[in-house]
Structure 1
């Protein structure tokens, strides 16, 4: 019976555990599901919002770059037209041409400086005061391009360091057909350090970039300025082959920038009318800085809530366990005889109802046995109630020891006991009862010089019979045994 009680407690606690685990698990699932969804949503929203910012900035940079190169082209065209109209004058020394170039330089806020190259590659400034007569640029691509059919015309050359000023710039050259002073090429030098300030103020801080590339993948300019990058090529990089090299414009995320290895968001577009591509980038690390902070705080809060939930769940489980144990202990006390520790009348009634239902359902035998100690009142009167209590306890222990685990025993009150022998017919029950009676008789009770005897009455359950009727028949059989001299066992058939 103790094993059954333990099993019932474990089953009940198991149900409670599953309920608490379900509640805590459901709460944690919802909590972390929200954290995951919110983190994904804010990250996506942050990147989407910055995508629009990068595209707008890229549009502005495109217009600024196009205007700059358009201004350089216009200045070269105007200068070329003056030369064509004054073929008999040396442009480097003609006051009209010098004023024109100076006005064009001032109109560009001194970003664009026009220079001339003779047919043998000698560089000449405007005005020409002989400061460049020893400088030859015949090896420069902006000069050589005007003597090749496939590149002759407006040519955007690769960035070079001026041999006169020592500054890095982008030469834009055009051929000259009619000019004095043996001039063959005009070019406008856009000094990069002069335009770097404007782009530096516009780029996304701290690790964003603005770049101008030629349509063959050559870096023309990059902010922040880095001389090692300018003039290098990214034509073989996946970034160039998949996006910038064959599309008019777009937006993408680069997991590994070919320049600095950073993960970047990139907006780019080809410059209208010029062989250039402008690209505006932002470091993903920078874009997601606030998202990481918010997510970290949210995860911290979720961890605190999770820890509190687990702690609360464990406290609840311990409380439920204590309450369940207390409830079962109360039930045990209600169903247990306080003196002997075996079941009482209430327990017997519950077990008998269950066993009758089981016997009826599975067509199995069930026998009830009424026991009564012989001359027990004399024991109490002669040797005292303490000895009498010892007798009751040892008899109860003896009965339990001789029963199977599936059987039940209860003290009905006084010196009466009842056992329920499950799946046992009357003949087998008689054999078992005789063994139990013999075990009781063999008991040696401290303080009691004589042996205790016990009488028994047996009745087997009949189809459709109630628990009350079964016990009444067993009680009548016991009465017959007592009337026949005690220390014997009778069945209801004999009664």
Structure 2
């Protein structure tokens, strides 16, 4: 009886194992099919997010370069309107402007002139011969129309003099000094290819700058496509052209025949679109490997656990990365990319405690941009934002790695100087004030603008003083600096 019961029990157990195994296998293969489908979509979606960030990075770098060129060309036109008799090719003051401009662009952007008859001149070309006839170039022809185009981003050209691709950005010279009718910045392709080639997805990814009319201004890798048109391709659709940014997936119609996914972002204020792409095969290579591995070991009982573990690990990494990014964003001022008040108060309190514990000196600077409301009212908030960014960057270059600069709000900033006595803090403040006074900010429209700052200083005196009290003393010193005429340094010497 017991044997029968034992066998019956064994059959039940075996039947249960078979049923469970069949169910497990069915569920496992259903899960594998679901995993293969969903993970493919997730991989493409993730790559598109990466490409979206890359497109925005390319957009920002392109905007920074083109806007800097824009500012310079406008400033040059204004200069020659004020000095119509000077020769742009030999004017020493303008030579300094160009040399500084080329230094800021690492020598990748050169300034050239075209006379009213279409003759190309470089600096120091004073023999009247010029370098070439460019009266057929669009960057010259549009400026000879009435009225002229103003700033014009031309189609890329292969230089007849250097035999290299470049992007001309031209501007008319209203005064036409010495018959020079057009000034243009020749942006060498290296200015784009050097940073973008390093950023693109390897091996078949691409980074492209496209004019709003569909012509390719730049591509990395070049692949013989610069100057070609994207009109008629699956990417350059009416829907995409109407958006400021977006993502896409193309299985056909690409210039090199590869299925691609990508993202694009329009460059603000200029007729340029930044595009970052990856080849679909490259994007899915790792996915295919994973799916092949899952299928090969699909009957393994440990597959579900391994897959779950991998998913959990990936999720935890993603969560950890997100938390770190959010923590960094909470401590950084969005406009100036320096510390915000919240982080300053936390870090400053710690430094104050350290100074008290080890009896070490500590000084605090509070500075304010003079007449900043006038800048915003006269030139717009965009110019004001650019000015604040330029000032904080200039000051950051003068500080030590142990110093902390933070934006308190509006145009008021604070600088914490550990291991710094009052006399030394005054020297630092005077150096910062002089640096800003000497700097010219070329974002004011009609001419380079001189900006000044006023600075208040307080040194940590003794135990018992809080960070807010130290800030209040520096603020009072700042108010005295403002009251005494601005563009000066005042220190609170009280205990």
> TM-score, length-normalised on structure 1?
0.55
Q: Corresponding residue for 2:246?
A: 250
Alignment of 1:181-196 (within 5 A): 181-196=178-193
Name the structure 2 match of 1:279. Answer: 275
CA distance in 1, matches of 2:256, 2:80: 46
- Structure-1 residue corresponding to 2:37: 40
User: Can you give the 5+ residue segments of structure 2 that lack an aligned partner in the other structure?
Assistant: 1-14, 302-495
The 5 A counterparts of 1:30-429 are 30-130=27-127, 133-149=130-146, 152-225=149-222, 228-302=224-298
Extract structure 1 runs of 4+ deviating beyond 6 A. 18-24
Give the Cα separation in 1 of the matches to 2:213 and 2:137.
18
* Aligned-partner Cα distance in 2 for 1:216–1:180: 33
Shift of 1:49: 2.1
Counterparts of 2:126 and 2:294, CA distance in 1: 70
CA distance in structure 1 between the partners assigned to 2:224 and 2:43 by the alignment: 32
CA RMSD after TM alignment: 2.8
Separation in 2 of the partners of 1:154 and 1:251? 30
SS at match of 1:252: strand
Secondary structure in structure 2 of the residue aligned to 1:268: strand
1:259 Cα deviation after fit: 1.1
Contact 1:132–1:164 (8 Å) recurs in 2: no
- Cα 1:123–1:59 change in 2 (3 A) is same
SS of corresponding position for 1:287: helix
Q: Cα offset for 1:22?
A: 7.3
Distance 1:24 1:288 in 2: 32
**C-alpha distance in 2, partners of 1:158/1:261?**
24
Q: Tell me the matched-pair count.
A: 291
Instruction: Decide whether the 8 Å contact of 1:249 with 1:270 is kept in 2.
Output: yes
Tell whether the 8 Å contact from 1:80 to 1:176 is kept in structure 2 after alignment: yes
Q: Deviations over 1:147-172 (max 9, x none)?
A: 23487111111100111111110001
Q: Aligned residue for 1:453?
A: none
The alpha-carbon deviation at position 42 of structure 1 amounts to 2.3
Q: What secondary structure, in the 3-state scheme, does the structure 2 residue paired with 1:251 have? A: strand
CA contact 1:244–1:277 (8 Å) conserved in 2: no
| Distance of 2:192 and 2:129 partners within structure 1 | 25
Query: For the residues of structure 1 that align with 2:33 and 2:70, how far apart are their CA atoms?
Result: 54
CA distance in 2, matches of 1:273, 1:168: 24
Is the 2:216–2:228 contact (alpha carbons within 8 Å) kept by the matching residues of 1? yes
Structure 1 residues 203 and 175, CA gap change in structure 2 (3 angstroms) = same
Runs of at least 5 residues in structure 1 that lack an aligned partner in the other structure: 1-17, 306-495
Task: Check the 8 A contact 1:76/1:114 in 2, yes or no.
Answer: no
In structure 2, do the counterparts of structure 1 residues 183 and 151 end up closer, same or farther at CA, with 3 Å as the change threshold? closer
Offset from partner CA, 1:242-292 (integer Å, 9 cap, x none): 543222211121112521121211110111000011101112212222111
